[in-house]
Structure 1
């Protein structure tokens, strides 16, 4: 076991860009400058504090206590050579560090010297990449689902044209194809912005729902407005809610009421259709769930997008008939709400 020369060791460790501390008798006996830089605490504050209090999670405190006990007994064979933990900094923010301990003799007694590597940025980048992959998978689902709907509609209109020669069906087919192209372009832009990390912006909900409503031959009334933090995925949210009400709910009228409530924006989408049976309401947001022979992706996409924006969505009956979807989103700081 290494026997540390106190003065030489402390002078050397203060020169490196890696955090080091010496732990003995349930407290820090030494911390170098890098530890102060990582945590935001001064050396004096660290030396007088309970080391375990810097760990963000209680379960990690128990785990590190046990690791420390075994390490001080020299039982390293069953211990990881390194361990990553979440810490709380002086300013209240959290970070991640990797600990690599070694047994030493310090001032004639058993101790642990531990190198500390700040992996906060690396952890955040890994998490961003994982979230990006999930979102790109969702974009792929949106394209498949929404584009198939538009192409299917175009085919149906062309079939009707072949039967009746009504020119209005050709116009409707062309409109569906144009909407399909718009979806592809929108999702392409959204993918680019997602990869650049700049996908979210201020979005006017009134503009989104009115734009989508113009593609449907039912009465859609939009009341109020609110700017929220979202992206072009909101068009898919609106399209799926209105499209479901028309296709599966067989409605003739849809009301979209947008209301600001403090720092939140509530969007209520109600229709006068056949409604959703109570026994399946808890399943309608599940991927693959469908009652009408569809893909089962529409409402799944809606829920995932709303959650991505930090919001929530719920469903209930509309009185006297139909269904009501209520969405809650965060208001943008640039919000201009009516």
Structure 2
């Protein structure tokens, strides 16, 4: 956008955001690319030791949002405050509080893991014994101590990703931003990355984690913002978000015999809200399915249905996303 100045850059240099105790405060963030509104009024906060997930499909506005949070691109409207300081592309001080791990690898393939970390540590102003000690700590955290002297070009995709995360951690930032860090890695490396992220929040670091993998958000994040079409559709803990769907479970009974009679018997049972039947299947909408399923199975059998299979489905973040947007998370 040429000489466009962001809203943050237009603020006086000494101005800080509200002293809320939050590491990151994002308010009213908007960004357009021509006619495309990529981010439209995004608000969220992250506290110390909290992992906040931006969960949404590709193209939802996740990467554009974190690019503004990190001060890489200007916002058309809204503000980003990091550690009490207003962020913008021309602001240096707030960027010192951020560790950014982008989707694209930012490592030197000809250098070893230790050399990569040492180089980037020096760029952060870490020197001498402090640098040596910090590199050793990070190598241990990302599980690359045994491969520290090997050129990173020989690493697997997962190992390169872990090294990328290590580079973002060197200067012990207040906020670590991870943009889809497990895309394209093998399951073992993926699990190792997730374990590393879990350890970071336990040490008090604030983490902003973007993903389109529902299971990652459920495992890692204290709070989740579901983002689609550049807008936060809903925000909260996993349990708070699931309550948006009504919080009901599904039980599917398959079998033979008197399915119609079984359907009638189950409609009057406690916790059963709805029963749909066809020739060989009953589909029940139930509150607290794990505690209700034994009585339901007994009731169906007593009514003359011979069961061959029982399946319980509990709502998850995929269900929430479908409920909020009318489409599957990975559409």
TM-score norm. by structure 1 comes to: 0.28
Kindly indicate whether structure 1 or structure 2 has the higher relative contact order, using CA contacts under 8 Å at least 6 residues apart. 2
Q: Which structure is larger by alpha-carbon Rg, 1 or 2?
A: 1
Using structure 2 for the length normalisation, give the TM-score: 0.28
